[in-house]
Amino acid sequence: MTCTVDEAALRTRTDRQNMRAEDIAEDFPIVSVDSDAVAAARMLAEHSLPGLLVIDASGKPYAVLPAFEILRFILPRYVQDDLALASVLGESGADQATQNLAGKTVGDVLPDYLRNVPSADARDGLMKVAASMAKLRSPLIAVTKDGRLHGAITASRLLAAALKS
């Protein structure tokens, strides 16, 4: 009896089964929790990012700042406190966006649910990373290797790796 094995298919299958967080982690823009929120907002804007990776004073991954969460803080203060008041906003005001955000740090504009976010370990499998991101409802997750920041994975990048046919 002769057995033929599709070596390429076998290799693809094995590679993907063993793919780990470190294999798809990318360099990603980082801001410190103490840094300027206006600079962070400009970084999100210039690079069209879904969010930023936030590190603490020791350089360890600490939080994630989704782009949509910072929008609240470009609004006039009375609307920040009660978004329902946005219905009275007219056409003007966009020129005050920077002014409204000025003086705040990244820590000031972080949502509570994305503070103290656990990182993925470099050796974690892709499905474990997917489960973490789904649980956190985060557009990205930090990857650490030997306790140090190794990169980040966005939700769309994880989908690309997991669905590769």
The site for a second copy (CB under 8 A) is made up of: 13, 16-20, 38, 41-42, 44-50, 66-72, 74-76, 79, 83, 86-87, 89-95, 97-98, 101, 123, 125-128, 130-139, 154-163, 165
Shortest approach of a second copy to residue 57 CB, angstroms? 26
Q: What single-letter amino acid sits at 16?
A: R
Q: Shortest Cβ distance from residue 88 to a second copy (Å)?
A: 9
Among 122, 111, 121, 125, CA closest to 54: 111
* Nearest to a second copy of 63, 75 (CB atom): 75
Q: Least separation, in Å, of the C-beta of 52 and a second copy?
A: 10
Which residue, 17, 25, 24, 22, is CA-closest to 124?
Answer: 22
Q: Which is nearer to a second copy, 59 or 123 (CB)?
A: 123
Provide the minimum distance between the beta carbon of 101 and a second copy in the complex, in angstroms, as a whole number. 8
List own/partner pairs for 30-34 with CB under 8 A and 24 or more apart. Answer: 30/54, 30/55, 30/149, 31/55, 31/65, 31/106, 32/56, 32/57, 32/106, 33/57, 33/62, 33/63, 33/105, 33/106, 33/107, 33/110, 34/105, 34/106, 34/107
- Using the minimum distance from each CB to a second copy, give the nearer residue, 9 or 57: 9
What is each CA distance from 48 to 40, 52, 150, in whole angstroms?
A: 12, 11, 22
Nearer to a second copy, 20 or 104 (CB): 20
Residue closer to a second copy (CB basis): 107 or 111:
111
Nearest approach, Cβ of residue 62 and a second copy (Å): 19
